[in-house]
Structure 1
Amino acid sequence: MPMATVNDRPIFFADTGGDGPVLLLGHGYFLDHSTFSPQAAVLAPEWRLISWDARGHGQTPDDHPGTSYTYWDQARDALGLLDHLGIERTVAGGLSQGGFTALRIALLAPERVAGLVLWDTEATPCDPADKAAYGDMFAALREYGPIDDLIIPLSTQLLGESDLRDELRTRWRATPALPLGPAAHCLLERDDVSGRLNEITCPTLLMWGEQDVSLPRDRMDLLSERLPNASNVHVVHGAAHTPTLTHPEQVNPLLQQFLRTLA
């Protein structure tokens, strides 16, 4: 899988290739591009799926300590990756923080976004109670590292009761550094774009895991209400915060049906 230099920094990405329309997807916090492996397996070659590791995740390094950035910067990373690949127009999407980025891609470059696909995400800033809880968790991970007392409940929060939790915890233990520096600041201090959702007029597909304890349903309902061409919120039954990975048998048909309306 290749590495691109975008905005003077390395960005790792996976690309199914081919001549089909492009779907660009961004993953959630503590995850990486493999979040969308189940989609890549069924969409290619009809669609060219590009998934990328956000700053501080997977094989994309974080910026130097003390250097902050925002999801607007990460949206520019994604647009720069499209430029690097010679792609003018895409369906953009993402899960959780990948959705934060996708919304900002659509606001920065609406002419380049044919549609949006959003899973378990929101347009509002980090809720104060969430910010406090995540801040405590990040502090504990900085102090103790990826110990079982911390990463077992975290993996369940992200993946529910899926057997994939073991693989995810193994990956966290092996990583040189979890995203606890500038990436954490980016997550916790993100701005509010809910007042600009009416500017995003492209067709939008919304999905949410019914057992998601990270992101309440009403935050997805807000997207459905304010995005002019959004679907209702499709509930992925039995899924937690990462339905693309744990429940592709429900996600993929909805995604394929939506994409074919855009082709």
Structure 2
Amino acid sequence: MRYFEREGIRFAYEESGPAGAPVVVFSHGFLMDGEMFQPNIAELSDAFRCIVWDQRGFGATGPTTRAFSYWDSARDLIALLDHLEIASASLVGMSQGGFLSMRAALLEPDRFRALVLISTRSDIDGEEVQKSFEDIKAEWARNGATHLAQDLSVFLLGVDCKASPAWIEKWMRLGAEHFEHPVNALISRDDITSRLHEITHSTLVFHGSDDIAINPLCGESIAAGLPNCKGFVLVDKAGHTPNLTHAELVNPALRDFLMRYAR
């Protein structure tokens, strides 16, 4: 694990693949970390320099003690590229990672070549969903993940996912303190739907057909709103993390797109 620093926060990242190859940066979803992309990187690191990083509050970066927005997270990603002296990269963002990847593309459009968006949306959650996250935040402050982990596993990974025990173990290790900041970023994010037309990069959108966290219609809406979207891939019987749980269905289209547009 390697680290870079921004605003006093020590961010963890890892990279694999040929040093001179085209760069692809992978940004994980809420409650996940860079490990969620390992099944994809295994299929891509022969042709791409693959970089994964752990965002504020998660993974080896650890808890954050201050409020932040996904615009801050987008600047964190850009700071990672600056740290590595990378002038141009493509982005793969899943859910929360999609929120910040789209914002990074809006902040520095000339910095990026192509975008892959997985199980994400450009608008905001409804009141009922926001209330559910407020409830999770309150319960986490009381007991950590003790009473939440099993339901979160179904919510994020689907039923009977072989990877569930490992992720549940990670959530159980997360402390009860400071969890409010990542949740608040999720709840308070702004709606960027009206700015999708500004993201003119070649883009591919994935969504699980059985996603109960973000409706597949949100993915379709993003694909329709992006002027240079090359396709919308509905992953059959997949939930919120199709790149992890159904990598065998995602990887061929992901690799083909990156080979065409990220080099």
TM-score range, shorter chain: over 0.9
Give the unaligned 5+ runs of structure 2: none
Aligned residues: percent identity? 34
Q: Segments of 4+ in structure 1 off by > 6 A?
A: none
TM-score of the superposition, structure 2-length normalised? 0.95
Distance change >3 Å, CA 176–CA 132, structure 1 → 2 = closer
Q: Is the 8 A contact 1:30 1:178 kept in 2?
A: no
User: What is the deviation of 1:176?
Assistant: 3.5
Q: Is the 8 A contact 1:100 1:122 kept in 2?
A: yes
User: What is the deviation of 1:153?
Assistant: 1.2
- Structure 2 partner of 1:30: 31
- Structure 2 partner of 1:212: 211
TM-score of the superposition, structure 1-length normalised? 0.95
- Structure 1 partner of 2:84: 85
- Structure 2 partner of 1:159: 157
Partners of 1:61 and 1:159 lie apart in 2 by 22
**Where in structure 2 are the equivalents of 1:83-232 lying within 5 Å?**
83-147=82-146, 149-161=147-159, 162-177=161-176, 180-232=179-231
Q: Could you give the per-residue CA deviations for residues 48-87 of structure 1, whole angstroms, max 9, x where no partner exists?
A: 11111010000113432xx321100100000000000010
User: What is the deviation of 1:45?
Assistant: 2.5
Q: Is the 8 A contact 1:12 1:53 kept in 2?
A: yes
Give the unaligned 5+ runs of structure 1: none
224-233 vs 175-184, which moves further: 175-184
SS of the residue corresponding to residue 3 of structure 1 reads strand
Counterpart of 2:57 in structure 1: which amino acid? Answer: G
User: What is the deviation of 1:8?
Assistant: 3.5
Partners of 1:254 and 1:209 lie apart in 2 by 14
Partners of 2:126 and 2:115 lie apart in 1 by 24
Partners of 2:64 and 2:49 lie apart in 1 by 29
Counterpart of 2:49 in structure 1: which amino acid? Answer: R
